[in-house]
A = this chain, B = another copy of it.
Amino acid sequence: MNATTPPNQVFIGTFVHSKSLDELEYLHNTAVFVDGSTGKIVAVEREGDHSGRLDETFNKLGWSPAEASNKNGDVNFFFPGFIDTHIHASQYPNAGIFGKSTLLDWLNTYTFPLEASLGKDLAKAKKVYGRCVTRTLSHGTTTAAYYATIDVTATNLLLDICLARGQRALVGRVCMDDDRTCPPWYKDESAEQSLSRTRECVAHARARDPHGDIVRPILTPRFAPSCTPASMRALGDMARAEGLAVQTHVSENAGEIALVAEMFPVEAGEGKGYVGVYEAFGLLTERTILAHAVHLSEGEAEMLRVNGGKVSHCPCSNSAITSGAARVRWLLEKGIDVGLGTDVSGGYSPSVLEAARQASLVSRHVAMGGDDRAKLSVEEVLFLATRGGAKCVGLEGRVGGFEVGMEWDAQLVRLGGVDDDGEGESEDGGNVDVFGWETWEEMVAKWVYNGDDRNTRKVWVKGRLVHERV
């Protein structure tokens, strides 16, 4: 417990969360009780369970009530915090900068120079990481799976910032040690160094948050082409021995896939493909997040499913750097767990809501290819952004919904009303206009398609208020 343990709190109003992949549950006039010492939901009193003014009741009990009431045509509701299953904090300053590049030239032109600079300049790292965490919190991201850089000190700094600001995070030092593909000025010197530097970061994370309540380490081989077999095997052994989570990239781009086939003819051979390389080195586990998975074969998907690997779908990135259109429906129907990743800065936005919007749009481009069932609904992309993401980061049952026993990782969303002449300026109210005749389903759709950080008024992690828009 840290020094600023929040009080017991009661949240009162409308709560919206995923009941299943394709269904949202709307709990109106409901009270959710959050225990201050654990950050957990200890009771949910739904409409019908109670009568009268909830706020008065709980005031008497000495609980601190926070009411999301709807005034002046505004509409408020609580929604689970978003989970970003793939984001490179170190690349945040490059968000939106990618030209007409594709993956491999993008890495060399935009990415490696920026990442390398953070290890040489901790003040710069503080500015970049601080801003990235500020922004992601403001967009309602309560949990993020971060890639930092190869640098130990800067990676530890990112973890410290997340812990101080109260953002749940998996923080990975990037491992890349292959002379053939890594620039000499930005690489681990050897597999041994890759492992020892990783151990330093894991030790730091455990020292700061022994139970991983808020921040945790995650093993992060960049992607197969940048890692030697020795380093991948060592990381795979470490993952198994210590039960550590793993994150890396897979099957993002045609050139990359060809490179993997060339570099790993045995591991990828006989149809085992790119996924097979990670499987061969013990890196494909139930705690592994594979970003992209755009061009998987049937065999690779089956290998993923059997091993329980998770997929981080990164639609903004896949469109921006022309990687392809991932077949999310296809993955889901195989029983593979999928979450959303912003993939900053292949992706241009640190907002999971933007990723949800683009997941919907990209799914329609998949549908244009002939399979109308590929379309993802508003309900489905919001599932991916919350409960789907929770599975990817190993926090299902702890975050992603409002059941008793879950931790209070939540955002208060406000959508603005429109006055009669339509001329009122709501400077900080965001772009969602509620005219008053919409259904709840329609209001949530409006939020998904036109919402932004202005609609996320407050954000909590484990009961602690970590962002507020005043």
Flag if B135 contacts A368 (CB, 8 Å).
Answer: no
Copies in the complex: 2
Measured between beta carbons, the chain B residues less than 8 angstroms from A349 are 431, 449-450
Measured between beta carbons, the chain B residues less than 8 angstroms from A469 are 427
Flag if A361 contacts B319 (CB, 8 Å).
Answer: yes
A266 at the interface (CB under 8 A from B): no
Q: A418-B131, A435-B127 in contact; A365/B325 too (CB < 8 A)?
A: yes
CA distance A227 to B324 in the complex (A): 39
Q: Name which residue of chain B comes closest to A128, CB basis.
A: B422
Q: Would you give the shortest CB distance from A17 to chain B, in whole angstroms?
A: 20
Flag if B97 contacts A446 (CB, 8 Å).
Answer: yes
A332 at the interface (CB under 8 A from B): no
- Please report which residues of chain A, range 346-389, place their CB below 8 angstroms from some CB of chain B when the two chains form the complex: 348-349, 351, 358, 360-361, 364-365, 367-368, 372, 375, 377
Q: Would you give the shortest CB distance from A431 to chain B, in whole angstroms?
A: 7
CA distance A372 to B126 in the complex (A): 38
Interchain CB contact (< 8 A) of A368 among B324, B419, B421: B324
- Please report which residues of chain A, range 396-427, place their CB below 8 angstroms from some CB of chain B when the two chains form the complex: 418-425, 427
- Please report which residues of chain A, range 83-120, place their CB below 8 angstroms from some CB of chain B when the two chains form the complex: 92-93, 95-100
A452 at the interface (CB under 8 A from B): yes
Flag if B433 contacts A131 (CB, 8 Å).
Answer: yes
Flag if B127 contacts A420 (CB, 8 Å).
Answer: yes
Q: Would you give the shortest CB distance from A468 to chain B, in whole angstroms?
A: 9
A123 at the interface (CB under 8 A from B): yes
Flag if B95 contacts A425 (CB, 8 Å).
Answer: no
CA distance A351 to B325 in the complex (A): 25
- Please report which residues of chain A, range 443-470, place their CB below 8 angstroms from some CB of chain B when the two chains form the complex: 445-450, 452-453, 469-470
Measured between beta carbons, the chain B residues less than 8 angstroms from A433 are 92-93, 95, 131, 135
Q: Would you give the shortest CB distance from A377 to chain B, in whole angstroms?
A: 6
Measured between beta carbons, the chain B residues less than 8 angstroms from A128 are 422, 435
Flag if A134 contacts B97 (CB, 8 Å).
Answer: no
Interchain CB contact (< 8 A) of A422 among B130, B364, B447: B130
Flag if A377 contacts B99 (CB, 8 Å).
Answer: yes
CA distance A377 to B99 in the complex (A): 7
CA distance A130 to B100 in the complex (A): 39
CA distance A133 to B423 in the complex (A): 8
Q: A96-B450, A449-B348 in contact; A423/B325 too (CB < 8 A)?
A: no
A190 at the interface (CB under 8 A from B): no
Q: Would you give the shortest CB distance from A197 to chain B, in whole angstroms?
A: 24
Q: Name which residue of chain B comes closest to A102, CB basis.
A: B372
Interchain CB contact (< 8 A) of A96 among B98, B129, B358, B445: B445
Flag if A435 contacts B126 (CB, 8 Å).
Answer: no
A428 at the interface (CB under 8 A from B): yes
Flag if B361 contacts A96 (CB, 8 Å).
Answer: no
Flag if A126 contacts B421 (CB, 8 Å).
Answer: yes
Interchain CB contact (< 8 A) of A449 among B96, B361, B364, B427: B96
Q: Would you give the shortest CB distance from A339 to chain B, in whole angstroms?
A: 21
Contact sample, A vs B, 5 pairs, CB 8 Å cutoff:
A95-B450, A96-B446, A126-B421, A319-B364, A351-B431
A131-B423, A431-B453 given. 6 additional CB < 8 A pairs?
A: A96-B432, A96-B449, A127-B421, A131-B422, A134-B424, A134-B425
